[in-house]
Every structure is written in C-alpha cells, then in structure tokens.
Amino acid sequence: MAASRSRNTDWQKSLQQVLDRRGALELAVARHESASEDGVDIIWRSQLIAIHDDFIEVESPQALGRTVQLKEGARLIAAFVIGQNRFAFQTTIVPGPQKASHTLALFLSRPESIDRCHRLNDRFDLQGLQLPHATMWPLLDPRSVGVAERANELAFELYSRDETVDAQVAATSEALMPTMGPPISGALMNVGGGGVGIRIASSEAGALSRHRIFWIRIAMGNDHPVPLVATGKLVHTHIDSMHNTYAGIAFDFSFNPAHQKTVAAQMARYVERVQAKQILPR
C-alpha cells in the first residue's frame, strides 16, 4: 500500500476541515482478504454530519432514492480530500446513540490512524481498491436504449436467481446496442444519490465537450457478471490535479423508466454480496 502511514492523534481536527466545508466521506466496503482479485470496489459518497469523541456520524449512502443497506460490524475503507491531498482510514460501522441527530445517520468507529495517500503517476493510491471500469458512448438516439436495457434486465433476472449468465448475454451483443458514437473509457470513482462520477484520461475527454447524453456500461467484476448499464446526462466536469477529467453523470431514465428498478437492484445486490463475504464480528 503506497501511503505514508502515521499515527494520527488529532483525527478530529482533520475531519473537522471536511465538516466545515460541508464535505463528504467516500466509503467502500472492505472486501475479505480471500476475495477474488477480479472483484471491484464501489465507492459511495456520504455527507459528513458530525464528529464525536468516539465515532463519526455520516449520512447513509444513497442510490436512486434508496438507502444502501450497510450492516453493523461491516468493515469499510473511508477517504476524504483536503486541498490537493487525499487521506484514507479503515473503520467499522458501530451502533449509534438512541437519539441520532439525523434520521438517515450511519455511525463509524474512530480511526486508529489516517493515511496520506501517495500519487501514483496519474492517480492516487486507493488503499488497494479496484475501481470498476466504465465505458461511455455518446447516445445519438436516446430512444434506442430500450432493447439493450431490456436485455440487461433479463440477464440480471437470471443472475438474481443464481442461474448461469453467459458473458456475452450479460454484456449485450453489438446487435442490441443503442445508436451511439465512439466509446470513451474511464474508472468509476464514486456513486451518489442519483448518479456517478467517472474519471476519464485527458486523451479521451474531448467527447465530453461535444455531447451531453451518454449510454454507460459499468463492469461489476467476475463475481457480478451482469454489467450495470444506464443512460446518463453529463451535468458537470472538472480537471483534477493530475489532469484527468472528472465527469459528474446523472442517471436519466426518462427514455426507459422501468430500467431504474434494475439499476437500483443491481447496486443493492452488489452491496449484499460483498458484505456477505466479510467475517463480521459478533
């Protein structure tokens, strides 16, 4: 792990800076040591609510109007950014007080230490996390998504019943793809309440200035053979300190409203399976 690790006795001061600017923590469920290297880690953005002596209070992560069901005892990796520096720590979901200050609060154990993440070429070290690969196509005819998304829904239904899903069926064949332009590739940086953040190399970011509607496919790893696919609308971009383009994408189900249910179910299924592979403390 390429990070400068130091015992941080003033962790509250570091997180207070995030709280003062109404910032968020990025949370990922820590996979078990024996988990497949082909798995991926989804990072959820969670608003920081309060800092207490013995725990941290954050909003429960959301996805498409649903609360991400994280279990008490689950081990997480949390990260935050201050200026040009990224920091990370390991934590656990703990019981909260009887009267929480927020109805959708999640409580995290205090960090034993906070790591400052090193930069590795064009990115930060991410504490061993494997980010999902995301592909975006400019959507030339948004009405054409129906057949491809329906194929994805059928593949996910098979997977949900633990039936075999052929890889080609899961990815949808080229014949079923919507009417699109050339693809660009990136990494899924985080999932928010109604969309995703995708990091795109500067060499591929030109399409973002010419198009606003994209069809997105996110690989969920070998443990989850059905990719997540959805129409997305580009809502903002910024250039990060390593000259990559961060694209904020809002899901747009106006062309196929029924597909929202499948995307939400895929996210819930992912979280359920990752947590099930942890050995949770009694």
The sign of the dihedral angle between the CA atoms of 85, 90, 93, 96 is negative
CATH number of 133-276: 2.40.10
Tens-place pLDDT, residues 2-17: 444 444 447 888 899 9
How far apart (Å, rounded) are the C-alpha atoms in residues 72 and 108? 9
The residue that leads in pLDDT, 260 or 81, is: 260
Residue 228's pLDDT band (boundaries 50, 70, 90)?
A: very high
156, two tokens: 């996910």
Measured from the Cβ of residue 159, the count of other Cβ atoms closer than 10 Å reads 18
Report which secondary-structure segment, H or E, holds 91.
strand 85-92
How far apart (Å, rounded) are the C-alpha atoms in residues 262 and 156? 8
Q: pTM (2 decimals)? A: 0.85
Q: Is the pLDDT of residue 279 over 60?
A: no
The SS3 of residue 263 is: helix
Residue 170's pLDDT band (boundaries 50, 70, 90)?
A: low
pLDDT of amino acid 36: 57
**Residue type at 35?**
A
pLDDT of amino acid 33: 65
The SS3 of residue 11 is: helix
132, two tokens: 């999902």
* Mean pLDDT, range 245-249, rounded to an integer: 96
The pLDDT mean for the chain works out to: 85
Residue 135's pLDDT band (boundaries 50, 70, 90)?
A: very high
pLDDT of amino acid 6: 42
Q: Is the pLDDT of residue 77 over 80?
A: yes
How far apart (Å, rounded) are the C-alpha atoms in residues 260 and 176? 19
- Contacts of residue 56, defined as CB under 8 A and 6 or more positions apart, other chains included, come to 15, 25, 48, 50, 91, 107, 108, 109, 110
Residue 1's pLDDT band (boundaries 50, 70, 90)?
A: very low
pLDDT of amino acid 7: 45
Q: Is the pLDDT of residue 280 over 50?
A: no
Q: Where in the chain is the domain with CATH 2.40.10?
A: 133-276
The sign of the dihedral angle between the CA atoms of 275, 278, 281, 282 is positive
Tens-place pLDDT, residues 141-167: 999 999 999 989 988 998 888 777 665
* Mean pLDDT, range 18-40, rounded to an integer: 81
Which fold is adopted by the domain 3-124? Pnp Oxidase; Chain A (2.30.110)
Q: What is the largest CA-CA distance in the chain?
A: 58
Residue 34's pLDDT band (boundaries 50, 70, 90)?
A: low
Q: Where in the chain is the domain with CATH 2.30.110.10?
A: 3-124
Q: Is the pLDDT of residue 225 over 80?
A: yes
End-to-end CA distance of the chain: 29
Distances (CA, A) of 181 to 142, 172, 184, 207, 250: 12, 17, 9, 9, 19
